[in-house]
Amino acid sequence: MKKIVKLGVVLLLAFGMVACGKSSSNESKSLVIYQNKAEMTEPLQAYAKKWGDENGVTVTVKTCTGSCDYGAQMKADINAGETSDIFLVEGLQGYNQYKDIIAPMDGEAWTSETNYAFKVDGKTYGFPVAVEGWGLAYNKDILDKAGIDVATLNTYSGYKAAFEKLESMKTELGLTGVVSNVTASGNTWVMGNHDFNAYLSSGLASDDRTVLDATLAGKVDETRLQNYTKWVELLFAHTDTRLLTVGTSDEQFALFGEGKYAFMHQGTWGDINVKNAGGTFNMGFAPYGTLGETAADGLFIGASSFYVLNKDSANIDLAKKFLNELVSTEAGQKVVVEEVGLISAFKNNAYSPKLPLSAFVAQWVSDGKPAYSFSNIYSLPDGFGTNGVGPIFGLFANKQITYDQFYKQMKDKIESIPTM
């Protein structure tokens, strides 16, 4: 998943200077970690500084997020012979780009503590950064004031009735709009990746690849796509045009946090930004209404980002030690959950997130409720979501194409996948 809570590049934050008195052999030890989560930057720096001091290692954390193109920067590093010891990939799509330089991690201690490791052909290659969830977050306080039962938010008609009721009460409820959503240039990943994943995954077990495999073969489920198109049309009809055309994800988080929208089309990674905007109300996620009148019962939950090892790293044993201790030590366990506010992907981690969206998803998982695949989208060709279908959502949102044209263009894009 792309996490975009800051614009620009937070790069080359080196720390963990080797303490005086270390031997010359220790002084030469170094580790470079490259990741793309802005919200992870400072907590990961602090943890790695302490870990580096304890192990006599100079640790450098590089973060690429927002307007920084992670893929382009990775390619530049590879071409320059400066590939990081640990770097990040997003699902199969990311793995395929760098598979020639990724080392397997079978048998590492952390692998026995998670159900979310990234595997290819039975071999373990990816260390899950966190468990995440995304979808339509709701402000329960607003829904309660409007007399809307969250349990009705699982079909097209259920959402349609709720959206229309909220539209009629906007002034009374102090709302700017019903749904906080973005599709502008630079933010096409929201609809192109996350929302399109609903076409691939809604209503299916997390390991069910039926629709995904058909899509990869260029085959369209026409009934499913029609229902999906109706859902997208409904979302856009209840988001104000300004937010769809020029709004940013930062603004999207802020407006939801300020109570200006009843719903937000985003994920658990928005917790901190929503809180910073004053979002102290009750909130959660509701199942999508992409299946027409067939009720959905699950949320999109999983691990989308994975740390992998550079197989040519001179410090690969240090890299393995760093990841294992991120799981086995109390300090490591606290970083993701307590300091970043995400959901741990590891069974031995007893910490629970305190921020509401992550806490809601963590409880959903703990209760054993249905989870649809979070990451099917990452099995499609590189850039398909953001650059392939993403702009089509933008055209539809801005009324530059009709319902029928949107459906046809999406169908054409799917049918063209085998030739990509």
Task: Tell me the C-alpha distance between 250 and 18, whole Å.
Answer: 37
Residue 231 lies in a domain: yes
pLDDT band at 406 (very low <50, low <70, confident <90, very high): very high
pLDDT at 360: 96
Count of positions (residues) in the chain: 420
Same domain, 270 and 389: yes
Same domain, 59 and 202: no
Same domain, 294 and 154: yes
Task: Tell me the C-alpha distance between 364 and 55, whole Å.
Answer: 38
In this structure, what is the dihedral angle of CA atoms 19, 20, 25, 30, given to the nearest 10 degrees? Answer: 30
Residue 43 lies in a domain: yes
pLDDT at residue 8 tops 60: no
Same domain, 298 and 315: no
CATH of the domain at 13: 3.40.190.10
Residue 118 lies in a domain: yes
Same domain, 145 and 95: no
pLDDT band at 17 (very low <50, low <70, confident <90, very high): very low
Nearest to 283 by CA among 181, 130, 146, 143: 143
- Give percent above pLDDT 90 in the chain: 78
Residue 77's domain spans which residues?
9-130+303-349
Same domain, 152 and 258: yes
Q: Where are the beta strands (DSSP E) in 36-176?
A: 58-64, 86-89, 102-103, 118-120, 123-128, 132-139
Q: What is the pTM of this model?
A: 0.83
pLDDT at 16: 38
Same domain, 376 and 270: yes
Domain count, the chain: 2
pLDDT at residue 10 tops 60: no
Same domain, 81 and 182: no
Q: Considering only 243-252, 323-332, 389-398, 399-408, which range has the smallest mean pLDDT?
A: 243-252
pLDDT band at 296 (very low <50, low <70, confident <90, very high): very high
In this structure, what is the dihedral angle of CA atoms 18, 23, 28, 34, given to the nearest 10 degrees? Answer: -40
Residue 222 lies in a domain: yes
Q: Considering only 143-152, 159-168, 334-343, which range has the smallest mean pLDDT?
A: 334-343
Nearest to 309 by CA among 38, 123, 170, 64: 123
Same domain, 162 and 198: yes
pLDDT at residue 24 tops 50: no
pLDDT at residue 7 tops 80: no
Residue 395 lies in a domain: yes
Same domain, 268 and 380: yes
Residue 37 lies in a domain: yes
H helix runs in 136-290, sequence order: 140-146, 156-168, 170-173, 189, 196-201, 210-216, 222-237, 241-246, 249-257, 271-276
pLDDT, tens only, 322-375: 999 999 999 999 998 988 888 999 999 989 999 999 999 999 998 999 999 988
Residue 360 lies in a domain: no
